[in-house]
C-alpha cells in the first residue's frame, strides 16, 4: 500500500485574495494526538482478503513557523488462502504556514523488514503556483509539481474553508510525499455539517459540527474514470477527523476513533 491514511491530513484558487482567510483557519487547527482502531470494512472479488486489523496513531502539532504531522499505521492482513502479513507505515512531515515549503519522511515495513524509504522536500514558487519536489531517498531526483498543488495541511485548511462557506466540491492536486509518484489529483465531495454525534470517545475536540467528506485520488493526467483509491471521513473545523474509511479497488479499511487528547500549544 504505497499511499496510507496520512494523505488525509491534506487548494488555492487565487493567491492574495484568500491568504488572510487561510491564516485565520490555520489558527483554529488543534494540536492533538489520536488513535484509531483499524479493521477490514469490505473485501471485494479478487482481493483474497479475509481480515485486517490494527491501529493508526496520529499526531498533529502547531510548531510556530509550521505544522508537524507524525503517524504510525500498523495493519495485519489475513488472507483467505491462509497466512498473514504485518505491515507498518511511519510518516513524519513538516509544512510551513505559508503553504510553500514541505519536508517529509516515510518508511514502509513488512514483517519487521523495511521495504521502502522515501525522504525529501518540496517547494512551491508561490501561492497557487507549481514547484519542485526533491527526493533524497530512495535516490536523488527531482520532479515538477503542477500549478495549484497543495501540501497536506494546506489541503485540510482548504477543505474546511470550502465546507464552511457552503461549498460542495473541491478539486486540487495534492502532494504528501508518500510514494514516488508525485502529486495526485484529488476531488472531494463535501456534505452538509452534522451536529456532534454521541460517541464512545468524549472530548471537547469533538463538540463542534463536522462535515462528511469523500475524496477520490487519481494519478496526474490519468484518463481512468476510476480513482486509485478513495477516502471518506468527517472533518471538524479544528482539523480533527472521525469515522475514517480508506477505500481501495479490492478492499476497504475502516478507522474508528479510540482515543484523543489535546496537546499543549508550543511556546513561540
Domain assignment of residue 198, yes or no: yes
Q: 155 in a domain, yes or no?
A: yes
Query: What digits encode the pLDDT tens for the residues 96-152?
Result: 999 999 999 999 999 999 999 999 999 999 999 999 999 999 999 999 999 999 999
SS3 264: coil
Domain extent for 50 = 5-82+148-262
Is residue 139 assigned to a domain? Answer: no
Question: Is the residue at 130 inside a domain?
Answer: no
Q: What is the pLDDT of residue 136?
A: 96
Q: Is residue 256 pLDDT above 90, yes or no?
A: yes
Which ranges of 186-253 does DSSP label H, i.e. alpha helix? none
Confidence of residue 24 (pLDDT cuts 50, 70, 90): very low
Assign 242 a pLDDT band (cuts: 50, 70, 90): confident
Q: Omega before 129 cis (within 30°)? A: no
DSSP string covering 205-242:
GGSS-EEEEEEEEEETT---SS-SEEEEEEEETTS-EE
Looking at the domain assignment, is residue 173 inside a domain? Answer: yes
Taking only the tens place, the pLDDT of each residue in 64-82 is 999 999 999 999 999 998 9
Q: In this model, does residue 208 exceed pLDDT 50?
A: yes
Cell numbers standing for residue 219:
494519478
Q: How many CB atoms lie within 10 A of CB 234?
A: 20
- Asked whether residue 137 is assigned to any structural domain, the reply reads no
Total structural domains within the chain:
1
Task: Report yes or no on 35 lying in a domain.
Answer: yes
> So what's the pLDDT on residue 266?
82
- Residue 102 placed within a domain: no
* Closest listed residue to residue 8, CA positions, set 145, 176, 222, 124: 176
Q: How do residues 30-53 score in pLDDT, each as one tens digit?
A: 999 999 999 999 998 888 899 999
Amino acid at each position: 500500500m504505497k499511499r496510507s491514511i496520512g494523505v488525509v491530513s491534506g487548494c488555492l484558487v487565487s493567491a492574495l485574495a484568500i491568504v488572510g482567510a487561510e491564516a485565520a483557519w490555520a489558527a483554529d487547527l488543534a494540536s492533538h494526538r489520536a488513535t484509531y482502531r483499524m479493521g477490514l470494512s469490505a473485501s471485494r472479488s479478487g482481493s483474497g482478503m479475509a481480515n485486517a486489523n490494527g491501529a493508526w496513531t496520529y499526531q498533529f502539532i502547531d510548531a510556530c513557523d509550521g505544522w508537524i504531522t507524525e503517524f504510525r499505521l500498523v495493519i495485519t492482513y489475513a488472507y483467505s488462502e491462509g497466512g498473514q502479513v504485518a505491515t507498518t507505515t511511519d510518516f513524519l512531515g513538516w509544512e510551513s504556514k505559508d503553504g510553500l515549503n514541505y519536508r517529509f519522511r516515510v518508511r514502509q515495513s513488512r514483517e519487521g523488514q523495511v521495504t521502502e524509504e522515501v525522504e525529501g522536500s518540496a517547494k512551491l514558487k508561490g501561492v497557487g503556483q507549481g514547484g519542485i519536489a526533491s527526493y533524497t531517498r530512495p535516490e536523488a531526483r527531482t520532479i515538477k509539481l503542477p500549478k495549484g498543488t497543495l501540501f497536506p495541511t494546506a489541503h485540510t485548511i482548504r477543505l474546511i474553508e470550502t465546507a464552511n462557506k457552503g461549498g460542495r466540491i473541491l478539486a486540487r492536486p495534492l502532494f504528501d510525499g508518500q510514494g514516488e509518484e508525485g502529486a495526485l489529483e484529488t476531488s472531494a465531495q463535501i456534505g452538509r455539517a452534522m451536529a456532534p454525534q454521541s460517541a464512545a470517545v468524549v472530548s471537547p475536540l469533538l463538540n463542534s459540527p463536522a462535515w462528511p467528506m469523500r475524496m477520490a485520488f487519481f494519478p496526474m493526467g490519468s484518463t481512468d474514470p476510476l480513482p486509485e483509491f478513495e477516502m471518506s471521513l468527517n472533518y471538524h473545523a479544528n482539523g480533527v477527523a472521525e469515522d475514517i474509511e480508506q477505500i481501495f479497488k479490492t478492499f476497504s479499511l475502516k478507522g474508528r476513533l479510540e482515543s484523543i487528547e489535546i496537546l499543549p500549544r508550543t511556546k513561540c
